[in-house]
Amino acid sequence: MAEEILWGLPVIGYLFLAGVGAGALTVSASVLLRGGGGGFAGQHFEIARYGAFLAPLPLVVGCLLLILELGSFEAGHWFKWINLYKTINLSPMSIGTWLLTGFIGISILYAYTFLPKTPGLGKNKDQLRRLLAWVSVPLGISTAVYTGVLLGAMPARPFWNSPVLAMLFLVSALSTGVAVILLFRAIFPPRKAEEPHKPMVAEYFQKRDQSAYLLTASDLMLVGFEMLVIFLFIMYAHLSVGAVKGSISVILFGGEMSVLFWFGVVIVGLLAPALIELYYVIPKLLNHQPFDAPLIIEIVVPIAVLIGGFMLRYVVVMAGQITGPIGI
């Protein structure tokens, strides 16, 4: 089809990165809050710290990508995007602008509270961190939901104009958020120097496995949930009529984007990671055997989930633009 692709790779990359960052922040903050001072406090804290450090950068990079795609930037007006800050209205993009700005500010501050040395914070560090975590949970969820609302707000784009899309982006954001934490935890394991009160190596590794299990199990749950939401997204569109039914057909069998969707999103991003995770989670879940996923699995599975998250944004953004209203 000779359609105009108005939003290309920069916007796709932005939607993906915003999801990853929002997911990482939400997971980090909710794990921190849930962990409290109880039994798993150590593991929870460790996961929360990875999430906190991983959250701001994707958002900053994503926003820079967005600016690259602006017509004004392409025409050489490099700072015209400042106009976004001169108003606030009910456009999802306007609300999103302020949301993202708040997100970047709060997430950087939140990450700062996790640094070993935090000049200027003093004794109130823990209190501030918890306070920021309370703000971060709704902030992360709204940012992830907003990326879906942004696309969903237009009846002229039948593929996007579905209430399920925002939900799909939220679940995908959370699962990619967990994946990015798993990945960085596997590549850059927590240094023993940071655990001075845990001298026993065996105990340390047990603890590490415990948090890997926590993450893998929650990722598995999210991936499963994502499959359900994708099923609803497709089913409701397919059971509709006219433009909506026509638009969903591009990702169904015989459609222009069906291979990318079924291979890239469903098989690579969902089914394969879910099956592998299931293989390692089941023994612990059912038989209380120790969780021992090899390091390579801890690296490959999150990468597959991240690729799937990117492919989901790619397929959705493209499919939305090669379809439109039918009739005239």
Distances (CA, A) of 43 to 28, 35, 258, 269, 300: 11, 8, 41, 27, 22
37, 38, 86, 288: which one binds other proteins (CB under 8 A): 86
Q: Which of 9, 36, 72, 198 binds other proteins (CB under 8 A)?
A: 72
Which residue, 94 or 258, is less far from other proteins as judged by CB? 94
How many whole angstroms separate alpha carbon 233 and alpha carbon 168?
8
- Please select the residue that binds other proteins; options are 9, 41, 64, 83, rule is CB under 8 A: 83
> Is residue 254 involved in binding other proteins (CB under 8 A)?
no
- 252 token code pair: 């169904």
**CB-based contact 29:137 (threshold 8 Å):** yes
CA neighbor of 315 nearest in space, from 207, 230, 244, 223: 230
Binding residue for other proteins, selected from 45, 94, 109, 135, defined by CB under 8 A: 94
Position among 38, 196, 199, 327 found at the interface with other proteins (CB under 8 A):
327
Cβ atoms of residues 148 and 27 within 8 Å: no
Smallest gap, in angstroms, from Cβ of residue 78 to other proteins? 10
Residue placing its CB nearer to other proteins in the complex, 157 or 207:
157
Residues 12-71 that bind other proteins (CB under 8 A): 69-71
C-alpha angle 167/168/172, rounded to 5°?
A: 115
Q: From the CB of 316, what's the least distance to other proteins, in Å?
A: 13
Chain centroid offset of residue 279 CA: 24
Task: Give the nearest distance from C-beta 137 to other proteins in angstroms.
Answer: 26
Report the nearest approach of other proteins to the CB of residue 96 (Å).
8
Integer Cα distance of 84 and 64 in angstroms? 14
| DSSP states of 61-106 | HHHHHHHHT-HHHHTT-TTGGGGGGG---S-HHHHHHHHHHHHHHH
Residue 49 C-beta: closest distance to other proteins, Å: 34
Question: Pattern of binders to other proteins over 188-227, x per CB under 8 A?
Answer: ----------------------------------------
Residues that bind other proteins (CB under 8 A): 1-4, 6-7, 69-77, 80-81, 83-84, 86-87, 89-94, 96-97, 153-157, 246, 321, 324-328
